[in-house]
Amino acid sequence: MEYLSIFFQYAGQYLKTRLTYRADMVVEIFSDFLFQAVNLVFILVVFGHTTLLAGWSKDEMIFIYGFFLVPFAIFSSFFNIWDFTDRYIVKGEMDRILTRPVHSLFQIVLERMELESLFGAVTGLIVMFYAGGKLGLEISWYDPFIFLLLVLGGALVYAGIFISLATIGFWSDSRTDIMPMMYNIGNYGRYPVDIYNKIIKYVLTWILPFAFVGVYPASYFLEREEWYTYAFLTPVVGLVFFMIAVTLWNVGVTKYRGAGN
Amino acid sequence: MGKYIEMIRIRFLMMLAYRTNYYSGILIYSINIGAYYFLWSAIYGGKENIQGLSITQMTTYIAVAWMARAFYFNNIDREIAMEIKEGKVAIEMVRPYPYLNMKMMQGLGEGIFRLLFFSVPGMVIVALVFPVELSANAGTWIYFFISIGFSFIINTQINLLAGIATFFLFNNDGLIRAKRVVIDLFSGLILPLSFYPMWAQNIMSYLPFQGISYIPSMIFTEGFKGSQVFEALINQAVWSAILVIPVYVLWILAKRQLVVQGG
């Protein structure tokens, strides 16, 4: 309960700061749209030169991309911690966080949230409905619930991976360029993983399970029954990776020695 | 001149202190290139070539595009924005060297470091694992290095513009992000520009972005031949010169506009 009220207080403050820099907020929302468009352009341009990608059609690829945008939007709204080491460890901001009686990770999530990223979910839904319509997909009454479950699972996968990476900062306080690159790797989970060789497929499924944010859960809605097992594993994988991340975080915090100031 | 070399040196040494990042970086770049390789293999799906590029040339294109990126890419836009927001820029501006030149030199120090410790070993690893074709022609290598020099200049000038915009917007994370996305798309990093439909190619040919990634990668893969190479290099040189003007004008306006927000 207390955490919930803290959340809303932070969200209120957040809106105030956002409205102070209004021009930037508009540009930021616009840049998010642009970012989503870039990947769509990639799919469209590529399918200008080929019709099927490992047995998946253009509209199916677009649908997977639309699905991916939804968990990704949730992730980027709340787990914007790619510069954690720079911001909190190198500059010693972590000292401030640790003196407060709320879980440190929760506080950082609150401080760094970017609620406007949620617009990405809207784009994702539009893209999904567009592609789904062209594919003639049918929606059952329980599909929205499954959708929510799979989206949450996907967002937790992303959060788990990025929080785990952020915890590296507790052991090594040097700057790291891993995070931005990881965003790129995250993109590969959107493509049908059977196009990759076994090692990469394995990595994208079990080590950096980005495939659970894109192609696996989306294949449920595309009625690709051969992937159903993976599709329904999504929430499980999400929870497991998120729990690993929180554990790593809790251990990491005990290793933290103020670096800055 | 001496002071600039000193700045490059200092930034280079700073990067050396953080070098552990780059070992992991090489690995991640390799994974990245690997994933693209398989993606493109699936896209080619047995076709001999698409838009005049064979699958080997395509793999090489992607590998070179990412390795060149390590050299020209820098975060000076974010650094400038940070210094403006924290008010440090006032101190930087009274120092006895031009602020923007100093930033550019710092970027160059970073680029040289990444080229030596990151791109070169990374390229060796990638060439061992994937069917990448390294040209045996010395001329190609020379043109390529001239070309990535221009890539650095063009990209850095655009970064300077995005950074200076902080003076007017006060907070420009959004602009910096938008800039990055536009560069990824229009520079030919993720997709050679020749793959785009003609109308899009026409628009892009009037923009400076192709000079950042497409031109050096095409030179390296020998997708450009003969006079095309020179035309491409001249295109880059012209943009390097033209972009000086907006940087200069914006900087003069920015100095008048300076509001130190803190510090």
Summarize pLDDT for A91-120 with one digit per residue, the tens: 778 888 888 888 999 999 988 888 888 889
pLDDT, position A146: 95
Contacts of A10 (CB under 8 A, 6+ apart): A110, A111, A113
**Paired sense of beta strands B49-50 and A56-57, if any:** unpaired
Please give the Cα distance from B247 to B50 (Å, whole number).
Answer: 38
Supply A130's token pair. Answer: 């567009």
pLDDT, position A130: 93
pLDDT, position A261: 45
- The Cα-based distances of A207 to A1, A60, A111, A171, A172 in angstroms read 34, 25, 29, 21, 22
Question: Is B226 among the domain residues?
Answer: yes
Question: Is A100 among the domain residues?
Answer: yes
Name the residue range of residue A12's domain. Answer: 2-255
The minimal CB distance from A196 to the residues B35, B43, B182 is found for: B35
Q: How many angstroms separate the most distant Cα atoms in chain A?
A: 60
Supply B257's token pair. Answer: 């506009």
Supply B30's token pair. Answer: 């390799």
Instruction: Name the range with the highest mean pLDDT among A90-94, A207-211, B134-138, B168-172.
Output: A207-211
Q: Band the pLDDT of B249: cuts 50, 70, 90.
A: very high
Name the residue range of residue B250's domain. Answer: 1-257
Question: Is B70 among the domain residues?
Answer: yes
Question: Is A261 among the domain residues?
Answer: no
> Is residue B193's pLDDT more than 60?
yes
Other C-beta atoms lying within 10 Å of the C-beta of residue B251: 16
Question: Is A191 among the domain residues?
Answer: yes
Give the Cα-Cα-Cα angle B75, B78, B253 (nearest 5 degrees). Answer: 115
CA-nearest residue to A18 within chain B is B171
Contacts of A205 (CB under 8 A, 6+ apart): A193, A211, A212, A230
Query: CA Rg, chain A, in Å?
Result: 19
The domain tally of chain B equals: 1
pLDDT, position A99: 87
Question: Is A218 among the domain residues?
Answer: yes
The domain tally of chain A equals: 1
Q: Is A174 on the interface with B (CB under 8 A)?
A: yes
Element at A131 (helix H, strand E): helix A119-135
Mean pLDDT of B175-181: 84
- As a whole number, the mean pLDDT across chain B is 86
Mean pLDDT of A192-221: 90
Cα torsion angle, B146, B151, B152, B158, sign = positive
Question: Is A260 among the domain residues?
Answer: no
pLDDT, position B174: 79
> Is residue B261's pLDDT more than 80?
no
Cβ-Cβ contacts under 8 Å between A and B: the total is: 110
Q: Band the pLDDT of A177: cuts 50, 70, 90.
A: low
Sort B118 into a burial class: Cβ within 10 Å, 0-12 / 13-18 / 19+. Answer: buried
3-state helix, strand, coil in chain B (%, to 5): 75, 0, 20
Percent of chain B at pLDDT > 90 equals 31
Please give the Cα distance from A88 to A96 (Å, whole number).
Answer: 9
A-interface mutation test, from B184, B193, B201, most A Cβ less than 10 A away:
B184
pLDDT, position A123: 92
Contact between B15 and B115 under an 8 Å Cβ cutoff? The reply is no
Question: Is A149 among the domain residues?
Answer: yes
- Report how far apart the first and last C-alpha atoms of chain B are (Å, whole number): 31
- The Cα-based distances of B128 to A196, A252, B121, B123 in angstroms read 18, 37, 11, 8
pLDDT, position A115: 86
pLDDT, position B34: 82
Please give the Cα distance from A177 to B74 (Å, whole number).
Answer: 11
**Paired sense of beta strands B49-50 and A52-53, if any:** unpaired
Q: Which residues 141-170 of chain A have a CB within 8 Å of chain B?
A: none
- As a whole number, the mean pLDDT across chain A is 87
Give the Cα-Cα-Cα angle A176, B178, A33 (nearest 5 degrees). Answer: 110
pLDDT, position B19: 64
Question: Is B262 among the domain residues?
Answer: no
More confident position, B177 or A144:
A144
- The Cα-based distances of B229 to A79, B146, B223, B225 in angstroms read 45, 11, 9, 6
Per residue in B70-122, pLDDT tens?
899 888 998 888 888 887 888 888 888 888 999 999 999 989 988 888 888 88
> Is residue B18's pLDDT more than 80?
no
Contacts of A200 (CB under 8 A, 6+ apart): A188, A193, B31, B34, B35, B38
Please give the Cα distance from B244 to A154 (Å, whole number).
Answer: 45
Please give the Cα distance from B133 to B124 (Å, whole number).
Answer: 11
Cα torsion angle, B239, B245, B248, B250, sign = negative
**Chain-chain contact of A50 with B47 (C-beta, under 8 angstroms):** yes
B-interface mutation test, from A19, A22, A28, most B Cβ less than 10 A away:
A28
Supply A45's token pair. Answer: 């341009």
Question: Is B263 among the domain residues?
Answer: no
Contact between B110 and B159 under an 8 Å Cβ cutoff? The reply is no
Percent of chain A at pLDDT > 70 equals 97
